[in-house]
Amino acid sequence: MSTDFSRNAQLFERAQASIPGGVNSPVRAFRAVGGTPRFIARADGAYMWDAEGRQYIDYIGSWGPMILGHGHPAVLEAVLRAARDGFSFGAPTEREVELAEEIIRHVPSIEQVRLVSSGTEAAMSAIRLARGATGRSKLIKFEGCYHGHADALLVKAGSGLATFGHPTSAGVPPEVVQHTLVLRYNDIEQLEAAFATHGADLACVMIEPIAGNMNFVRASVPFVKRLRELCDQHGALLVFDEVMTGFRVALGSAQSVYARALPGFQPDLSVFGKVIGGGMPLAAFGTTRKIMQNLAPLGPVYQAGTLSGNPVATACGLATLREIAKPGFYEALGASTRSLVQGLQQAADEAGVPFASDCEGGMFGFFFGPRLPQNYDEVMATDKERFNRFFHAMLDRGVYLAPALYEAGFVSSAHTAQDIAATVQAAREALRAA
Ligand code: PMP
């Protein structure tokens, strides 16, 4: 029995009776940081209010989608109008076509997309398509990258890295992950060794180009360059999982960030979610027309969905994409995010706390350690206890950061300079306290 009789604690207790762990997605339970999860009653702009009426500056943004903040008027209007016309038809609509065209317009590597309802579905379908198109079975993923909870992707490294992995979840038979090779992020040597051994059998390599599921770790430019070369040499498809980075780090997504350093660079397949749905269940995967022709009803790779391209979700996504495509949007978002990260860094430096931070567009990360980690092991070697104390000290001061050190943070266009300044001031106090 909890001794905390607050409304959040009461709700959490009640939730645990009817929902396993009291939550519908594990990280919401605050297991990593301890304490009572906040039950959110409503949100507006950059703020959320919990069941006790306490206000927070929101740096989770529903784990990425809320790039315009909560309840943006143009998005809200589009959603309400769409809802009045019907929730779901199970038949094609003009708006799906518009959303597909909008995604294609901003991401040159994509000629066609298919819409689905979650990032998990999109990543799972992209893998099936890559396998179907190449006629090969094996795939590479990297330690610390998350691609949703499809069986073949719930894998951690085996006894040594570069061996076939072990399931990270009960209920995933070892045979199901026997084709999934898990490598260390940013390790070129290991990548070369894996291609030398398995290159001819590899359907694809899936990567988060800027990993947001081990806080914030960039794939280095030389690593991405080598990855592209090796995939080309061996006929494997390079899949960028941009569920988090897509339309978040730049209008052209993370692939456009790498194309700045590597002219002409493109992945083969891309996976999107989060921002393209603006907070509604919507995700997508896309690639060239030629590869996409393998999908049903045209080709032999089966993929489908009752709510795929849902009319209310597509209205939400389309209105969001139209807002973020306006001139100057990413310049302003990037400037806000940089000022937050610089402010946090300065506060930590003043407090003499080892701290490293990075950001791109509206996505950021920070670590309690002297330098930016390059892979999962290095992330896990940063100071977790200090992160947990800092998280709670910030939450007590009305700043809602992700409740685990291995998650990225998100700034929206609704965050004002004042919000950022208040956050940095809270961090000064929190760093002294923590
Ligand atoms: N890929 C990445 C990079 C993600 O960050 C996530 C979710 N955080 C997913 C896939 C899975 O998306 P969803 O939770 O919508 O299934």
The per-residue pLDDT for range 174-203, each reduced to its tens digit, is: 899 999 999 999 999 999 999 999 999 999
- The answer regarding whether domain 73-324 maps to CATH 2.40.100.20 reads no
> Given 47, 56, 59, 146, which residue is catalytic?
146
Place 157 in a pLDDT band, splitting at 50, 70 and 90: confident
Is residue 157 within 8 Å of 191, Cβ to Cβ? no
The reply to whether ligand 1 has any atom less than 6 angstroms from the CB of 213 is yes
> Given 274, 358, 400, 406, which residue is catalytic?
274
Give the Å distance between the CA of 64 and the centre of ligand 1: 10
- Based on the residue annotation, tell me whether 187 is a catalytic residue of this protein: no
Structure confidence at residue 166 (pLDDT) = 85
Structure confidence at residue 4 (pLDDT) = 67
- pLDDT above 80 for 343: yes
DSSP H stretches of helix in 235-364: 253-261, 289-292, 311-324, 329-351
What is the rounded CA–CA span in Å between residue 260 and residue 5?
A: 53
Proportion of the chain above pLDDT 90, given as a percent: 95
What residue ranges of the chain are covered by domains with CATH 3.90.1150.10?
A: 7-71+327-433
CATH number among 3.30.470.20, 3.40.1160.10, 3.90.1150.10, 3.40.50.410, domain 7-71+327-433: 3.90.1150.10
- Mean pLDDT across the chain: 96
Please choose from 24, 142, 213 the residue to mutate so as to test ligand 1's pocket, defined by most ligand atoms within 8 A of CB. Answer: 213
What is the rounded CA–CA span in Å between residue 240 and residue 268?
A: 8
- Based on the residue annotation, tell me whether 274 is a catalytic residue of this protein: yes
Question: What SS3 class is residue 42?
Answer: strand
> What does the longest C-alpha to C-alpha distance in the chain come to?
62
pTM over cut 0.95: yes
Phi and psi angles of residue 274, each rounded to the nearest 5 degrees, phi first: 45, -100
Please choose from 25, 60, 121, 243 the residue to mutate so as to test ligand 1's pocket, defined by most ligand atoms within 8 A of CB. Answer: 243
The reply to whether ligand 1 has any atom less than 6 angstroms from the CB of 119 is yes
What is the rounded CA–CA span in Å between residue 62 and residue 71?
A: 13
What is the rounded CA–CA span in Å between residue 8 and residue 68?
A: 27
What is the rounded CA–CA span in Å between residue 54 and residue 37?
A: 13
- Of all protein residues, the one whose alpha carbon is nearest to atom 14 of ligand 1 is 119
What residue ranges of the chain are covered by domains with CATH 3.40.640.10?
A: 73-324
Question: What SS3 class is residue 198?
Answer: helix
What is the rounded CA–CA span in Å between residue 295 and residue 315?
A: 25
For tokens 């897509």, name the residue: 246
The reply to whether ligand 1 has any atom less than 6 angstroms from the CB of 72 is no
Give the Å distance between the CA of 113 and the centre of ligand 1: 17
- pLDDT above 90 for 205: yes
Place 207 in a pLDDT band, splitting at 50, 70 and 90: very high
For helices 221-234 and 188-198, give the axis angle rounded to 10 degrees.
Answer: 10
Its sign, for the CA torsion 103, 107, 110, 111, is: positive
Please choose from 25, 28, 63, 146 the residue to mutate so as to test ligand 1's pocket, defined by most ligand atoms within 8 A of CB. Answer: 146
The reply to whether ligand 1 has any atom less than 6 angstroms from the CB of 147 is yes
Instruction: Residue 93: count other Cβ atoms within 10 Å of its Cβ.
Output: 18
Instruction: Residue 241: count other Cβ atoms within 10 Å of its Cβ.
Output: 32
Is residue 243 within 8 Å of 270, Cβ to Cβ? no
Place 163 in a pLDDT band, splitting at 50, 70 and 90: low
Structure confidence at residue 311 (pLDDT) = 98
> Given 50, 58, 241, 419, which residue is catalytic?
241
Give the Å distance between the CA of 315 and the centre of ligand 1: 21
The reply to whether ligand 1 has any atom less than 6 angstroms from the CB of 241 is yes
Q: Which two tokens stand for residue 402?
A: 């992700």
The reply to whether ligand 1 has any atom less than 6 angstroms from the CB of 314 is no
- Based on the residue annotation, tell me whether 376 is a catalytic residue of this protein: no
The reply to whether ligand 1 has any atom less than 6 angstroms from the CB of 120 is yes
Structure confidence at residue 167 (pLDDT) = 87
Give the Å distance between the CA of 274 and the centre of ligand 1: 8
Place 3 in a pLDDT band, splitting at 50, 70 and 90: low
The reply to whether ligand 1 has any atom less than 6 angstroms from the CB of 308 is no
Which H helix or E strand runs over 76?
Answer: helix 73-85
Question: What SS3 class is residue 377?
Answer: helix
How confident is the model over 81-117, as pLDDT tens digits?
999 999 999 999 999 999 999 999 999 999 999 999 9
- This complex has an ipTM of 0.99
